[in-house]
Amino acid sequence: MRAGNIMKTHKHILLNLVAVVLALAWLVPLVWMIGTAFTEGSYTMSLIPHTRPTFENLRYVWNAVPFGRYYMNTMIVVAGTFSVQFVTVTMAAYALAVLKFKGEKLMFIIIFIQLIIPNDVLISPNYMTLGDLGLTDTKLGIMIPFFGSAFGIFLLRQMFKTIPAALSEAAVIDGCNTFQVITNIYVPSSRAAYISFGLVSISYHWNNFLWPLIVTNSTENRTLTVGLALFAKSKEAVMQWANVCAATFIISMPLVIAFFIFQKKFINSFISSGIK
Amino acid sequence: MKTTLTRGYAVRLSRGMKTNLKAWILLAPSLVFLLTFTVFPILRSFFLGLTQYEFGMRSPEFIGLENYINFAKSALFWKIMGNTLYFSFLTVLPSMVIGLGLAMIVNTKIHGVGFIRTSFFYPVIMPMIAIASIWMFIYMAESGMLDQLLMAVGLKAMNVLSYRETVIPAMSFMYVWKEAGYLMIFFLSGLQNISGELYEAATIDGASPFTMFRKITLPLLGPTLLFVSTIALTNSVKLVDHIVIMTEGGPNNGSTMLLYHIYQQGFAWFDQAKASALTVVMLVIMLAIAMIQFVNADSRIHYN
């Protein structure tokens, strides 16, 4: 019996060791990126910084590339997309969760199509549509294909379905109209679903690259990912890993830091992002 | 009497109509955007795929299935399809196996679970562009971390991104590292739904951990496995950001994937008809992946 327990403890320690070693291995690229971003540029690579920490790379990159502008643009795109999604998704989710109406099936089919065919693969025809609308090289052009969100509608519809009808019926008797029922009852009771949807939407649009690359053509509208790609591919960046790491640090840190602080919320939100 | 009846009917009907109207007004904004940027572009791709519409042409010209016939005859097209398939082959199963392994580690009561889970998951919330920029330096010829390591132990530098044989495996390795943490969280929530009593009973019966994994964990994770495999497949097929940074499809189209080729056709070579026809190919693949799940959904066995 005791021998068995000791075996168990040994196994436990071994598993724990494996887990920690794996976790550390997973961190190598991040540690190297941060270390290099704050180390003087050099032609040999090393995992452990070998010079005194310096802000020179960050300063250089910040001045060489209009990252301030790109930050602004990215925040406008991310916030703008989510704000509009918030409204469209809430309205649609209420209709699909609460009301019985003709053509419900048709709406579900349209929503399913977007779940199956993500916007990412429709870059070519959507760019033509953007041209027809005169929205190429605009921030609105980056955002507009995402204003309708099948994922958001599904997530909130699920949430809205759990809210007892008696609650809204009482509100109607008290004289609330549909708009008031939604804003006073449904939205406040669904905070968790909105946080999930918000985190997924924000992460997606902060990180999105191909579509903003195609749509934008000027500094005024480029986002951070596009800015980083342009810099990483430019002549100044060849072999300059300290600078590229500094640029990478600049564009990915806000989300990474937010994730380290709110990791449980992020992970729970991303679990809901698998909706199919 | 008769009038009241008609009236009652009229009121009821109009109430139903009112609900219909209300519902569609609420759906209208989503509907407009979903139709314009999901349904319409699908139809447009099907139509333009049947035409010739090169840079400089005023309007598309109907040519039937010629684009598709040309693809079927083109070595480049098949190479790209092969690359896409090869990349999926090298990423989907490994990232699922590792993701499940990570989930099982994180699901135990070991020390520092929070830290471990965080370090497996953080690559998920980093932009692919940033990850490709970092891994670019790991894979870079001679001065990169990998080649430095190889040379330090007396081997030859491999310069993995410059050779047809190694470029996709190298990209796959990077992507598995990024994706495993994402798949981990689905497996984790699947594992947490399996009752601990099953394992306790099996332990009392003297089952080995391997038997328990095969007889309890895997069958009960069935639906999760299916669902995760469709996510992993979809994600791997539509991944292109890293190609822009690392290889631009090279060497000699050795790392060109389908979506990257759509991007090349449409935005480097300005051939919207070919880009549309390729988009149709992509749509068919997406539909096929979705079908896997729908077909299996009917025959799916629900435990618990």
- Residues B56-75 have a mean pLDDT of 91
The mean pLDDT of B122-144, rounded to a whole number, is 91
Provide the residue ranges of all domains of chain B, joining segments of one domain with +: 74-299
What integer pLDDT is reported at residue B126 of this predicted model?
A: 95
Which of A5, A65, A124, A127 has the most B C-beta neighbours within 10 Å, making it the best mutation to test the interface with B?
A: A124
Nearest by CB to residue A88, choosing from B30, B231, B276, is B30
**Nearest-Cα residue of chain A relative to residue B248:** A233
Residue-wise pLDDT tens digits, B198-240: 888 988 888 888 888 888 889 889 888 998 999 999 999 999 9
CB contact under 8 A, B185 and A267: yes
Cβ-based contacts of A32 with chain B (< 8 Å): 134, 145
Could you report the predicted ipTM of this complex, rounded to two decimals?
A: 0.91
- Tell me the β-bridge partners of A45: none
pLDDT confidence band for A6 (50 / 70 / 90) = low
pLDDT tens digits along B151-184: 889 888 888 999 999 999 999 999 999 999 999 9
Looking at the DSSP bridge assignments, the partners of residue B52 are B61
Measured in angstroms, the CA of B126 and the nearest CA of chain A are apart by 6
What is the phi-psi region of residue B271: left when phi exceeds 0, alpha when psi lies from -120 to 50, beta otherwise? beta
- Best probe of the A interface among B133, B261, B263, B293, by most A CBs < 10 A, is B133
Gyration radius from chain A CA atoms: 24
pLDDT for residue A3 is more than 60: no
| Secondary element (H or E) of residue B148 | helix B145-152
Give the model's pLDDT for residue B303.
Answer: 40
Decide: residue A99, CB within 10 A, 0-12 exposed, 13-18 middle, 19+ buried. middle
CATH 1.10.3720.10 boundaries in chain A? 66-237+246-272
* pLDDT on residue A82: 98
Which tens digit of pLDDT belongs to each residue from A188-246?
Answer: 999 999 999 999 999 999 999 999 999 999 999 999 999 999 998 887 777 778 889 99
Nearest-CA distance from A41 to chain B in Å?
13
Q: Which SS3 state, helix, strand or coil, does residue A208 take? A: coil
pLDDT at A10: 77
- The pTM of the full predicted model, rounded to 2 decimals, is 0.91
The candidate with the shortest Cα–Cα distance to A26, out of B266, B184, B221, is B184
Cβ neighbors of A221 (< 8 A, separation 6 or more) are A73, A137, A138, A139, A142, A215
How far is residue A162's CA from residue A253's CA, in Å, rounded to a whole number?
36
Whether residues B135 and A114 touch (CB distance < 8 A) is answered with no
Using DSSP's 3-state secondary structure scheme, residue B52 falls into: strand
Distances (CA, A) of A4 to A1, A8, A11, A68, B124: 5, 6, 10, 61, 39
**Contact list, B40 vs chain A (CB under 8 Å):** 125, 129
Residue A13 has pLDDT above 80, yes or no: yes
> Closest by alpha carbon to B127, among A224, A117, A186, A107?
A224
* Chain B residue with the nearest C-alpha to that of A206: B127
Asked whether the beta carbons of residue A45 and residue B27 sit closer than 8 angstroms, the reply is: no
Q: Select the residue from A210, A223, A224 to test the B interface by mutation, using most B Cβ atoms within 10 A.
A: A210
DSSP E strand boundaries for B228-286 = none
* Cβ-Cβ contacts under 8 Å, B148 against chain A: 44-45
CA distance A259 to chain B (A): 7
**Mutation test of the interface with chain A: which of B38, B191, B281, B284, choosing the one with the most A Cβ atoms within 10 A?**
B38
Residue B301 has pLDDT above 90, yes or no: no
- Does domain A66-237+246-272 correspond to CATH entry 1.10.3720.10? yes
Residues near B230 by Cβ (< 8 Å), separated by ≥ 6?
A: A276, B289, B290, B292, B293
Query: CB distance B26–A91 less than 8 Å?
Result: yes
List the one residue out of B135, B120, B234 whose CA is nearest residue B182: B120
Question: What pLDDT is attached to residue B263?
Answer: 96
Query: CA of A269 to nearest chain B CA: how many angstroms apart?
Result: 10
Residue of A nearest to B237 (CA): A121
Could you give phi then psi for residue B62, rounded to 5 degrees? -70, 125
> Residue A276 — pLDDT band, cuts 50, 70, 90?
low
Two structure tokens written together for A128: 């033509």
Average pLDDT along chain A: 90
Q: Is the pLDDT of residue A94 over 90?
A: yes
Question: What CATH number does domain B74-299 carry, 1.10.3720.10, 3.10.180.10, 1.10.1740.10, 3.40.1230.10?
Answer: 1.10.3720.10
**Nearest 5 degrees, angle CA A87-CA B189-CA B222?**
110
CB contact under 8 A, A29 and B244: no
Nearest to B62 by CA among B285, B282, B277, B281: B277
Chain A interface includes B41 (CB < 8 A)? yes
Q: A10-19, A56-65, B92-101 — which is least confidently predicted?
A: A10-19
